[in-house]
Amino acid sequence: MLSLQRTPCYGACPVYLVEVLGDGTLRFKGERHVKVTEPVEVRLDQATLQKLFARVESSPFAGWPHFTKESSSDAPTVVLTFKGHTVRHYRGDLDAPEELTRLEDDVDTILGTGRWTKGEGTETK
């Protein structure tokens, strides 16, 4: 239903994949530069799912193409998929809308991935 993947950069960028299934199951798999590297599976509550879906659906996400131009180097790529539409966003592409970066970061905030990437908090926001 929704997935967000952050890929490597030439520095210490967190590398992970988080997936949310239709039944509210969240799966996190950290690879590098994260606090947790073993697979995690939790169940999201209905309020969190509604907040997540409302945030994505209220954005222009469904109409965005890929933003993969390497305007600057050494940046990670974020791959966001929602309801079958995928946007690849190279964070060094200066043509990408700022709203896309905010959306990607908001997805992480709503899902509370900071608890596995940075050790922040213990509850889903």
Domains along the chain with CATH numbers: 2-117 (3.30.1560.10)
- Per-residue pLDDT of 75-102, as tens digits, reads 999 999 999 999 999 999 999 999 999 9
pLDDT at 125 over 60: no
Predicted TM-score (pTM) of the model is 0.92
Residue pair 33/12 in contact by the 8 Å Cβ criterion: yes
CB atoms within 10 A of CB 91: 20
pLDDT at 59 over 70: yes
pLDDT at 113 over 50: yes
Beta-carbon contacts of residue 84 (< 8 Å; ≥ 6 apart): none
User: How far apart, in Å, do the first and last CA atoms of the chain sit?
Assistant: 19
Confidence band of 121 (pLDDT split at 50, 70, 90)? low
Amino acid, res. 93: D
